[in-house]
Amino acid sequence: MKKKDLREYIKGEIIEILSEISIDEATAKETEETTKAIEDQTKAVKDLADTMDKAGLSEVDDEDDSVDDDELDKKAAKAAKKSKDSISTLSKKLADNTAELRSVVKKWKYSKEPEKSKHLSRLKELTKIKQELEKLL
C-alpha cells in the first residue's frame, strides 16, 4: 500500500469513528431532553388534574352528545375563576404540552406499528389535555 493510500484510509477511518461518536452524543442529549420534557409534562398533567378536581370538573367524554357546548364553556369559566393557577402558569403548561405533542408526532411519524399505536394513544391524551388547558385560558 502506498503512503498516500494509507493516509487516505486512516483519515477515512478517523472521520467515520468521530462521526459515530458525535451521533451517539447527540442521541444521548436528545434522550435527556426528551426525558426532562416528559417529566415536566407529567408534572403539568398532575397539576391540571389537581386543578380540575379543586374546580369540580371531571373529564368529559367527547362522545357524550347530551352535554351542550355552552354548558361546558360555563363550567370551564367557573373553573378558571376558582382556579388558583395564573394565566401565565396555564400558558406555560400549554406551551409544554404543545412541545411534547410535537416531539411525540415526530416519533410517531418515524416509528413502526407496535410503537406507532402507543404514540397515537399518547397523542390523543395530550390533545385532550391541550383542549382542557385552552378552555381554562
Give the pLDDT of residue 64: 46
Q: What is the pLDDT of residues 40-65, one digit of tens each?
A: 888 888 888 777 777 666 554 444 44
In one letter, which amino acid is 106?
Answer: K
Name the residue with cell 395564573: 86
Helices of type H across 83-112? 87-110
- Local confidence band at 134 (pLDDT 50, 70, 90 cut-offs): confident
Query: Which of 67-71, 110-114, 124-128 ranks highest by mean pLDDT?
Result: 124-128
Give the separation between CA 136 and CA 117, rounded to whole angstroms.
Answer: 29
Comparing 134 with 77, the larger pLDDT belongs to 134
pTM over 0.85: no
